[in-house]
A = this chain, B = another copy of it.
Amino acid sequence: MEAHPKEVTMKSIKRETMSKQVVDQIIELLTSRQLNPGDKLPTEAELTDMLFVSRPVLREALSSLETMGMIQRKTREGTFFSYRIGSKPFSIMLALSAGDIPAVMEARMALELGLVTMAAEKITDQQLEQLAELMHAMSLNTAGYEQIDKNFHRMIAYSANNPILEGSIDALLNMFDKTTNQIAQIDRDHLVTMQQHQAIFDALSKRDPLAAHSSMYIHLSQVRAKLVKPKLR
């Protein structure tokens, strides 16, 4: 008989709520390719029968999925999987970082650096023209300067043509708007900004991913430095 019993490590058992289990089962319809984006889901009545849960529990799950942009529910028509997620869900999630400006800035920076690299591979002539127009509008120093600047960045991000990251970048750019509006006007040197934009544009025109990245890195590093200087190691 041992004086001390063997030490035993046991994992705690956590049962997920019914609502979360319903979410998982509906998502499984997508991952298993039983249903695809755009497809109609069974009605609420059918789903409660199929899944053996009450309607409020099912509605909690469906509301979750709708808030996350995964589905759209229409009275009398039914419930459909979305084609893509917009920016709203990411805006909601970004609210958790509302007090952390450096993190928001660096998240935006990381995302834009990656997207500009991909954009250099696949930007179209039409998109290049649109960028040129935006740059021209900025050179006129019109009233909507900040908005045009934002659209310049947004245009590049969209040129990467990645549906998965579009919602994120939109939410980050929008949040950046709100954040910088609360701080003193940052970009006072339009000339430098436009020169940096030009360098980015030139690299994109050459379809050079590395040059595009380094031009954007220089530009966003300057934006960051004026906004906030994170503590480097």
Contact = CB atoms under 8 A, between A and B. Distances in A.
Interface in A120-134: 121-124
Contact of A93 (B69, B122, B160): B69
Contact of A103 (B81, B85, B163): B163
Interface in A43-84: 56, 59-61, 63-70, 81-84
B96 A84 contact: yes
Contact of A70 (B31, B93, B213, B230): B93
Interface stretch (A4-12, A105-113, A140-148, A184-192): A105-113
B111 A111 contact: yes
A228 interface: no
A80 to B, nearest CB: 12
A30 B95 contact: yes
Contacts of A233: 121-124
A96 B123 contact: no
B70 A92 contact: yes
Contacts of A107: 162, 164-165
Interface residues of A, number: 67
B106 A160 contact: yes
A59 B70 CA distance: 19
A114 interface: yes
B160 A36 contact: no
B106 A162 contact: yes
B232 A122 contact: yes
Given A81-B96, A106-B118, A111-B114, 11 more contacts: A20-B67, A30-B95, A33-B99, A60-B63, A63-B64, A65-B67, A68-B68, A84-B96, A110-B115, A110-B117, A213-B213
24 contacts: A19-B63, A23-B92, A60-B63, A64-B68, A65-B92, A67-B67, A68-B68, A68-B92, A70-B93, A70-B96, A81-B96, A82-B96, A97-B164, A106-B160, A110-B114, A110-B162, A112-B114, A113-B117, A114-B115, A122-B230, A123-B233, A124-B233, A209-B217, A213-B213
